[in-house]
A = this chain, B = another copy of it.
Amino acid sequence: MATLYDVARLAAVSPKTVSRVINEPNRVTEETRARVTSVIKKLDYHPNAIAASLKRQCTDIIGFVVPYGSDFVFQDPNMMEQLRGAHDLLTTEGYEILISAPVYKKDTLNEINRLVKHRNVDGVILYPSFGVDQVVQEFSEKNFYYVTLGLCFEDQQTNFIDINLTPGVYAAAKYLISLGHHHIGLINKPSNFFMLGKDDCLRGYQTALQEAGIDYQNNLVFEGDFTFEGGYQAFQRLKELNPDLSAVICSSDPMAYGAIKAVADAGLKINRDIDVISGDNLPLTHKLYPYLSSIHNPSYEQGKQAGKMIMEVIRSGQKIPGVTLNAEFVIRGKLL
């Protein structure tokens, strides 16, 4: 492989001039630029990114670290959307994305530390999880760069893009009530995942009921675990305990699909016996049930903004105020 020096020699210029032709071409006369360029072509020269990284002290690579094991991550439509958002923004801005989902969840913190401290990446986009608060704390002190997809500790003010589902769930419940439903189930987010301030679904649900003068009932709310199976079981229990159940709000797409299957297995029919509102409205999945009204979870936008924010964090060397995106409610199809 030809090096910068080979080019310089053959073009009869200094190494720095070659470097300039590559990195700041308008600071070189057209003549020398042409000469150097032709030698570059002739030698099939390609700048060595590693050497440049060493000198520049940055790699133009952003790490995307997910703490739930690869089988979960690559099968979760939400994460794919966040990843897609981050990817789209960062690649158009000249960054690469390094994706890391430790096989064992417990390796996550090591992995984050390794990536960042070994200088493999210029910064990381992180998922909240147990222990990440300490990592983030350390990063803050040592000026390593991160942005989190959601809150990592109670009073986090900066470097996060969070999503608030309350407005979406509120509007969904409100809508169902306006259609005459009184027994509305909620398949809620799991409580055993690490998520701060995440009673957002419940809050929206409760507020809507309250405003309509409907009493809140414990046995109309069950948790899923974000999976198909979790949604399936949650619906079964809901129906078991509430024979009058006439509508269900699901807080994520995979759980909605589980619930839909449970509906069918119970011999019921959606849009006739029961109304189901699905969870994420992600393009990857919502087309499977395009007739369902849905809470729109702006995961793609979240990923995109996280990409933008990590760039800004790196550029400025400063912390950036966190951003919260609101979910919306999308009405579709024929409800009762």
Contact = CB atoms under 8 A, between A and B. Distances in A.
Contacts of A71: 84, 283
B53 A70 contact: no
A101 interface: yes
A256 B128 CA distance: 35
Given A84-B70, A84-B74, A97 B96 contact: no
Main secondary structure of the interface of A (DSSP, over half): helix
A288 to B, nearest CB: 6
The 4 closest A-B pairs by CB, nearest first: A74-B84, A46-B117, A49-B118, A75-B284
Given A91-B102, A98-B98, 20 more contacts: A46-B119, A48-B118, A49-B118, A49-B120, A50-B50, A54-B54, A61-B98, A70-B87, A71-B84, A73-B84, A74-B87, A75-B80, A80-B80, A88-B103, A91-B101, A96-B98, A97-B99, A97-B100, A228-B288, A261-B290
Interface residues of A, number: 46
Per assembly, the copies of the chain total: 2
B100 A98 contact: no
A91 B100 contact: yes
Interface string A212-255: 00000000000000001100000000000000000000000000
A48 to B, nearest CB: 5
27 contacts: A46-B117, A47-B118, A48-B54, A49-B120, A50-B53, A50-B119, A51-B54, A54-B54, A61-B98, A70-B91, A71-B283, A73-B84, A74-B80, A74-B284, A75-B80, A75-B284, A87-B99, A87-B101, A91-B100, A91-B101, A96-B98, A96-B115, A96-B120, A97-B99, A99-B99, A229-B287, A257-B288
